[in-house]
Chain A
Amino acid sequence: MSDPQKLAITTRALNLWYAKFQALIDVTVDIKHGIITSLIGPSGCGKTTLLRCFNRVNERYGYVTTTGEIKLHGKNIYDDDVSLVELRKSAGMVFQRPNPLPISVYENVVFGLRIHKEGGDLKRSVLDEAVEVALTEVGLWQDLKDRLDMRATNLQLEQQQKLCIARLLPLKPEIILMDEPCSALDVEGTRAIEELMFALKGRYTIVIVTHNMAQARRASDECIFMLLGELIEHSRTEELFLTPKNPKTADYIEGRYG
């Protein structure tokens, strides 16, 4: 398994503004490598914003200003020599609504390879193998191996979400960022994605934003509670839920607000 002391993501004094609105206030956090860390908090607390900082996908909106430091495996991602392409390759993201691209299942899985690799790495045999490995890993191979040409947007939602995870894997990311990956899924789908997260943990660092406290409790090793842009508490999940240190955390997990 992984070295528990190794840190995957660290932030120092991270502030972020959407135009004039400050969405993150002085966030300092250390996310450990190889485990599942969940981000919880009421709507608008900045948990999704924080997640989207880690692969700088926030920046597509021109009006975002960020100060402070974010390091992924010790490398500051705001350094000038960091390539966005490489950053996003190493920190893959799964979105709230499954968003497979409107192309075939096969092409969805190899999409990352096609945009990052060239020439010899794009031989049919290489791609075929990547597809089989990735789909096997997320448990879709048996269901879809005969339907790889099917349009990905016609799959069931649960399969779509699994596919969205599968398409990250050929790029060998170190971190998988998940933004409420189960909110569009039913109970079965949610369970399937959670099982998949357990299967992937260890090899990948998983950060998951969730609205669902029960999910955070059963599916994560560490838990971060955020409120109004600030990081309130970060500890092992059992500790956070059983013996919260901060009264705000206690109030939230008891459902007094949120």
Chain B
Amino acid sequence: MATELQTELAPERAAPKPAQPERGSAPANKPARAGRGALAIAGEKLIEFVIRLCGISAIIFVFSIFFFVFREAAPLFFQKHEPPAQPEAVVERHADDHSPAAKKFALKEFLFSKEWYPTSQSNVRFGVLALIVGTLSVTALAMIIAVPFGLGAAVFVSEFCGGKIKETLKIVIELLAAIPSVVWGFIGLTVMNPIIQDLFHAPIGLNMLNGAILLALMSVPIMVSIGEDSLKAVPDSFREAGLALGATRWQLVYRVLLPAAKNGLLAAVLLGVGRAVGETMAVLMATGHAVNIPFVTADGSFNPLFIFEPVRTLTATIAAELGEASEGSQHYRVLFLIGVLLFSMTFIVNLTADLIIRGIKKR
């Protein structure tokens, strides 16, 4: 019955429309439909545009931040703070040289001198070598602590525990990431400081070790979550293959999972490095903030107890001094140049990571 009705109705419906359009409604209908279509198309275009914008916004932000930071720093290289008559050699002046405060900025001195006296009345010197060494050494020590912990925790969460423990651990580890960095700094200042003094008989507890421990704790959560994700992404068939060959759990991790997940694990470590290099508040509060190259003693020999030396990082310097530097002054511009330097460092880290991962993929 129903099919009969339909077949009978269908030609009837289809036929009259082209033949005799209904008064008013049919001609109105067609443009209306087209209008809705246009609106829908416009809407779609708009959404597409917005999504595209979201996609490229990252590029826009990166470039505009870089542009802004560089614009503030650039005049250092172009402005002449001294009479052109003075010889080039002034850049090599020593501490005892009592010349006017403002002098020509020299990139070489900036990068390779450890003299950081940005507010000196008599002889301003902007050497960030000690700060670079501070940043790199704190980060390196932090990674030495964090990588085994972070990757170990990732392996444990992903492979060795199940069900409730796993869920609880993941939540707690993510909570660790939620602690504000100033709170970490606070812990470094009031809790770790006396502990390090008592435990190691260090003269001060605010030192490289303190900062590195905090940075390690701060970068562990990101390593665990990215590392766990990449271990989870290893196909189960690899685990079965290993187990069926009689591998123990540890052999499975060591011989199968770690090689299979190495890209993701490397990414996890590098994200941790990025976190550590960029961290400001905690290191400002916990490292002692003294311009100091920790590996060298006063008499110029190697210092084996360098981890108990206070250091200062690039980030902490910017945070501590930018508020005090008058806008447009040489000090202000040098701080921005430190920003450029930090930017370049993280850029190089990320680029290397990218190239390494690509290289691994190709093989």
Given known A-B contacts A111-B255, A115-B251, A60 and B243 have beta carbons under 8 A apart:
yes
Are B247 and A115 interface neighbours, CB within 8 A? yes
Given known A-B contacts A62-B162, A102-B260, A116 and B241 have beta carbons under 8 A apart:
no
Which residues in chain A, 99-124, are within 8 Å of chain B measured between CB atoms? 99-103, 111-112, 114-116
Band of interface residues on A:
20 to 34
Asked if B246 is at the interface (CB within 8 A of a chain A CB), the reply is: yes
Asked if B281 is at the interface (CB within 8 A of a chain A CB), the reply is: no
Determine the distance from Cα of A167 to Cα of B246 in the docked complex, in whole angstroms.
12
B247 proximity list for chain A (CB < 8 A): 85, 115
Asked if A48 is at the interface (CB within 8 A of a chain B CB), the reply is: no
What is the predominant secondary structure among interface residues of chain B facing chain A? helix
Are A88 and B237 interface neighbours, CB within 8 A? no
Q: How many residues in B have their beta carbons less than 8 Å from beta carbons of A? A: 20
Count of chain A to chain B residue pairs whose CB atoms are closer than 8 Å in the complex: 65
Are B259 and A102 interface neighbours, CB within 8 A? yes
Option from A57, A85, A101, A168 in Cβ contact (under 8 Å) with B256: A101
A207 proximity list for chain B (CB < 8 A): none
B162 proximity list for chain A (CB < 8 A): 62
Determine the distance from Cα of A62 to Cα of B163 in the docked complex, in whole angstroms.
10
Are B240 and A95 interface neighbours, CB within 8 A? yes
B19 proximity list for chain A (CB < 8 A): none
State how many angstroms separate the Cβ of B19 from the closest Cβ of chain A.
56
Given known A-B contacts A103-B259, A111-B255, A93 and B244 have beta carbons under 8 A apart:
yes
Given known A-B contacts A102-B260, A115-B251, A171 and B245 have beta carbons under 8 A apart:
yes
Which residues in chain B, 204-247, are within 8 Å of chain A measured between CB atoms? 235, 237-247
Given known A-B contacts A102-B259, A115-B255, A151-B363, A95 and B243 have beta carbons under 8 A apart:
no
Option from A60, A62, A115, A151 in Cβ contact (under 8 Å) with B245: A115
Determine the distance from Cα of A89 to Cα of B245 in the docked complex, in whole angstroms.
6
Which residues in chain B, 236-274, are within 8 Å of chain A measured between CB atoms? 237-248, 251, 255-256, 259-260
Option from B241, B243, B248, B259 in Cβ contact (under 8 Å) with A100: B241
Are A99 and B246 interface neighbours, CB within 8 A? no
Are A168 and B243 interface neighbours, CB within 8 A? no
What are 9 A-B interface contacts by the 8 Å CB criterion?
A57-B240, A60-B240, A62-B162, A93-B244, A99-B235, A101-B241, A111-B255, A115-B246, A171-B246
List residues of chain B with CB under 8 Å of any chain A CB.
162, 235, 237-248, 251, 255-256, 259-260, 363
What would 8 more interface pairs be, CB under 8 Å, given A55-B244, A101-B238, A115-B247? A60-B240, A60-B243, A92-B244, A95-B240, A95-B241, A103-B259, A111-B245, A115-B248
Kindly list the 8 A-B residue pairs having the minimum CB-CB distance in the complex, ordered from nearest: A88-B246, A99-B237, A93-B244, A85-B246, A99-B241, A89-B246, A115-B251, A102-B260
